[in-house]
Structure 1
Amino acid sequence: MFNAYPDSIGRNLSDTVHMLKRPEFKDVFSLFYILPSVFNSAPDRGFSIIDYELNNALVTRENLAELNKLGIGFKFDLVLNHLSVGSPQFQDLLENGDKSEYKDFFIDWNEFWKPYGKMGPDGYVIPYDEYLENLFIIPTKILSPGGLHEDIGYRSGRDAAPQRSLEKR
């Protein structure tokens, strides 16, 4: 599996495709794990999504078709729980407030944490330590030897059905 941002090798995915067409790369990779900046996003490498259209400055449908011709499938990193302040949904919330059809897509940090923290000097509620101590629990059963790891991916091309694997780690 080849793992990279569309612009990791050159300016965009076109440069990566050019490299993968070289004879020494023939049949080396069967899957390309393309990191999230393939979609329109804020300038944070794809983690604040504006929309899920391809960012044509980095990747085109033609680039993906060329990879497919090389026998290379795709695994996309979809960031589903983050949106950019530039997204149409957030802009609608700013414009329409409580009347926005997207108002339930977002939480107000201060409203959420108000009962569990205190207002900080920058105008944001800082949660009490007792709530932060267990906020980031690492699922050791999943990460430990013998635990299970679930990986749900999609493949491109003729057999574009979802591929689901449950492998023992």
Structure 2
Amino acid sequence: MTKMYNVGKIVNTQGIKGEVRVISRTDFPEKRYKKGAILLLDQPGNKTIELVVASHRKHKIFDIVSFENHSNINHVEKYRDGILKITEEQMGDLPENEFYLHQIIGLSVQDEKGQVLGEITEVLSPGANDVWVIKQLNGKDLLIPYIEDIVLKVDLENELVTIHVMEGLID
């Protein structure tokens, strides 16, 4: 079975012309919601259906999307609370030192001496750079900024991240 990844959630309709409000879960909305892009709609209890994007625009915190052959509100009302997904093949390659969330979450973290510190449980995006949340072996969360001075190596093959522990980073 093909792996699928969440790119957004349909939270409501927008107007009467078949547009939907999407809360996006992708760093690439211009790619995921561009005209002609194929998205898979996953709804509990229903089989996954393929939708082709007809239009996309931003409005406040939402991505407003319409789909081919869905020209009025009656066509899209039933999609509310559906999750928009893409397949692994649609993801594409990222530049060096950039990663998809699913590649980072769950990785083991060690310091430069090889001492295991914990596991990455979450990625926060509060500002200029991401912050990785590491659940330490003692159960406490450690927050590390994803910057070159701290994150020395990300080894996806061995599921291991090596970090430089700066003074004051760990109490």
1 or 2, which has the higher strand percentage? 2
TM-score by length of 1: 0.25
1 or 2 for the larger relative contact order (CA 8 Å, sep ≥6)?
2
TM-score by length of 2: 0.25
Structure showing greater radius of gyration is 1
